[in-house]
Amino acid sequence: MDFNIFLIPESEVKQIGFENAVYGFPTQKGLTQLVNAIRGVVDEIDIFDYIQGIDLGCGDGAVVDHFNKSISGSEWHGVELSAYRLNNSRYKDDNILMEGDLLKVNLRPYNFVFCNNLAFDDALKDALEQKVGREFSGLIVLSDPFTGNVGKIVHTFPVRTNWSSAHMFYLYLV
């Protein structure tokens, strides 16, 4: 993990907002926990043969890269608002990451979404929940649960992260 990714220039913080400067990630053990939970639920539910996934707010793309390497039968991409994070990512040349606003990404091509939404403010969480309800069908993993009636929680699981040794993640079927 390149910890310089946390040091976003003040000019970009002013441009994208402080709430988007917050950055958290699963540890290596947490990534293994995530992959095992995803595999288990996908096998149990058996709703699709191939995962076309996206990480909304992917940071430097480490989770995207890990999912691509660790979940067979899947292809993952990531979207990140911070140009600084993407320009300093070691995965930037792999054609798996794109710069942009997660609320402007078309979710229809994807059947799996990962979103570490814990640091999102309430307005962004609500907007994401509405977007998912309008244009997504599949499985979504969140670090902070939805508040309305979008989808059904099918699994919860603890994941080691840089902010907690056992943060709960929520997997929804939408």
What pLDDT, on a 0 to 100 scale, did the predictor assign at position 1?
45
- Asked if residue 139 lies in contact with residue 41, where contact means CB atoms within 8 angstroms, the answer is yes
pLDDT, position 10? 62
Query: Rounded to whole angstroms, how far apart are CA atoms 38 and 42?
Result: 6
Is the distance from CB of 133 to CB of 174 less than 8 angstroms? yes
Q: Is pLDDT above 70 for 14?
A: no
Predicted pLDDT at 47: 84
User: Which domains occur in the chain, in start order?
Assistant: 3-173 (3.40.50.150)
Average pLDDT, the chain: 87
Convert the pLDDT of each residue in 155-164 to its tens digit: 999 999 887 8
Q: Are 32 and 71 in contact (CB under 8 A)?
A: no
Query: 108: pLDDT confidence band, cut at 50, 70 and 90?
Result: very high
**What pLDDT, on a 0 to 100 scale, did the predictor assign at position 45?**
87
Task: Write out the two tokens for 149.
Answer: 């009636």
DSSP 28-80: HHHHHHHHHHHHHHHHHH---SSEEEEEET-TTSHHHHHHHHHSTTEEEEEEE
pLDDT at 130: 97
Average pLDDT rounded to a whole number, residues 21-47: 86
Classify the C-alpha dihedral 136-137-141-142 as positive or negative: positive
pLDDT at 87: 86
Residue of higher predicted confidence among 8 and 33:
33
Quick check: 13 pLDDT over 90? no
Residues 125-146 have pLDDT tens digits of 999 999 999 999 999 999 999 9
The answer, yes or no, to whether residue 9 has pLDDT greater than 70, is: no
Residue 18 has pLDDT above 90, yes or no: no
Mean pLDDT of 70-75: 93
Q: Whole-angstrom Cα distance, residue 132 to residue 106?
A: 10
Q: How much is the pLDDT for 68? A: 96
